Amino acid sequence: EIAANPYATILGAPESSERRLNVAQSFNGVGYVVALYVIGPMILSATVPSAGELARLSPAALQAYRAAQTATVRIPYLVIGGIFLVVAAIIYFAHLPEIRESAAPEDAGASASWRGVLAHKHLVTGVIAQFLYVGAQVGVGSFVIRFVMHAQPLLGPRAAARYLVMHAVGFMIARFAGSALMKTIQAARLLAVFAAGALVCAVVATSSAGIIPIYAVVLIGFFHSIMFPTIFALGIKNLGPFTKRGSSLMVMAIIGAAVVPPIMGKISDLSNIQRSFWVPLLCYAYVLYFAVAGYKPKPALAATETAAAEV
């Protein structure tokens, strides 16, 4: 993603960079749904014994069970690895156009350092927004099944998993729909609408009972759709010679997926799973700020980078 995402934003008119990246990232949503429908059953087809049943197994039987569980993921990962090799070969032989970045201004002493990169406030706010968004996305997605079972105790894991599929399908559909909407709606404005929608859904999820909070959580998947590519494209816009470094920071921000879900889990353990959704709610509030004001480059820096790009 460090290479492909900025490539998609640069390969064309700057004013449509967000839309191009959303179109490219739409196939991420397709992969998400395909994995749930195709790979999921391959991995989860076996009956999972309870903790008591596992405790009663002999050491040899337990070892055999673990080996069988490991074997269920072998074929899916081999298939995924094979697909990556095929795609890599296609890219290698496709002779894609080389895009060379403009050199940094010679008189800017900090331009070759990270200080020059971090001087772009919209990049910094974008990295923070990406960190929080990815954390919220992974946290919410990981908690869908448990949330459904909390709200509807009579539902088992398999029945609750249907809502995760709905969550993923909404994500996929909205990625394509969002890309189309960006033809007529400014990317930042659309991001603000989606962030506000996710925020409202999170409020409903934390404050209501019955089936309503379940569908609110399902709908969050829809609003997640355009966030990653749009934050990415807005955050690295007008960086000029710093685009690659800015892109690397944006990709590094996915570490939020390792931070936010454990916080949600801790709150869930100490209180309940509904209250844990206050964490992604706060994340969406920051994404909304980024979409309204934080994405705007400083005029002086934007002018400098534009001039550098024309050299």
pLDDT digits (tens, 9 = 90+) for 75-105: 878 888 998 899 889 988 887 777 665 554 4
**Percent of residues, the chain, with pLDDT higher than 70:** 86
- How much is the average pLDDT of 36-63? 72
Query: Does 77 map to a domain?
Result: no
The mean of the pLDDT values for the chain is: 82
The reported pLDDT for the residue numbered 214 is 95
Do 247 and 211 meet the contact criterion of CB atoms below 8 Å apart? Answer: no
Positive/negative CA dihedral, 303, 254, 86, 221: negative
Query: Does 131 map to a domain?
Result: yes
Give the range of the structural domain holding residue 301, as residue numbers without chain letter.
17-46+100-310
Give the residue, 213 or 37, on which the prediction is more confident.
Answer: 213
Q: In total, how many domains does the chain have? A: 1
Q: Rounded CA gap, 23 and 32, in Å?
A: 15
Supply the DSSP symbol for 49. P
Give the residue, 157 or 252, on which the prediction is more confident.
Answer: 252
Query: Does 110 map to a domain?
Result: yes
17's CB contacts (< 8 A; 6+ apart) are 8, 9, 10, 233, 237
Burial status of residue 297 (CB atoms within 10 A of its CB: 0-12, 13-18, 19 or more)? buried
Task: Please write the tens of the pLDDT for every residue from 187-196.
Answer: 899 999 999 9
The reported pLDDT for the residue numbered 310 is 43
- The answer to whether residue 41 scores a pLDDT higher than 60 is yes
Q: Rounded CA gap, 47 and 38, in Å?
A: 18
- How much is the average pLDDT of 233-237? 88
The reported pLDDT for the residue numbered 22 is 78
Query: Does 150 map to a domain?
Result: yes
The reported pLDDT for the residue numbered 46 is 58
- The answer to whether residue 247 scores a pLDDT higher than 90 is no
Q: Which position has the token pair 């909390």?
A: 150
The reported pLDDT for the residue numbered 43 is 64
- The answer to whether residue 241 scores a pLDDT higher than 50 is yes
Q: What SS3 class is residue 97?
A: coil
Do 160 and 149 meet the contact criterion of CB atoms below 8 Å apart? Answer: yes
The reported pLDDT for the residue numbered 131 is 96
> Among the listed ranges 130-144, 147-161, 266-280, which one has the minimum average pLDDT value?
147-161
89 token code pair: 């070969």
CA 213, 289, 252, 142: dihedral to nearest 10 degrees?
0
Query: Does 135 map to a domain?
Result: yes
Reported as a pLDDT band with limits 50, 70 and 90, residue 106 is very low
Query: Does 89 map to a domain?
Result: no
- Does this model's pTM top 0.85? My answer is no
Q: Rounded CA gap, 165 and 295, in Å?
A: 32
Q: Rounded CA gap, 192 and 288, in Å?
A: 5
- Write the DSSP string, 83-142: HHHHHHHHHHHS-PPP-PPPPPPTT-TTTTSHHHHHT-HHHHHHHHHHHHHHHHHHHHHH
Mean pLDDT is highest, among 23-32, 64-73, 259-268, for 259-268
- How much is the average pLDDT of 227-236? 91
The reported pLDDT for the residue numbered 49 is 67
Q: How many CA atoms lie within 13 A of 248 on its CB side?
A: 6
- The answer to whether residue 109 scores a pLDDT higher than 50 is no
Give the residue, 6 or 220, on which the prediction is more confident.
Answer: 220
CA-wise closest residue to 178 among 165, 192, 167, 166: 192
- How much is the average pLDDT of 35-56? 68
CA angle (297 as vertex; 296, 301 as ends), nearest 5:
165
Query: Does 143 map to a domain?
Result: yes
CA-wise closest residue to 296 among 234, 239, 217: 234
Query: Does 60 map to a domain?
Result: no
Q: What SS3 class is residue 242?
A: helix
CATH of the domain at 177: 1.20.1250.20
Do 250 and 132 meet the contact criterion of CB atoms below 8 Å apart? Answer: no
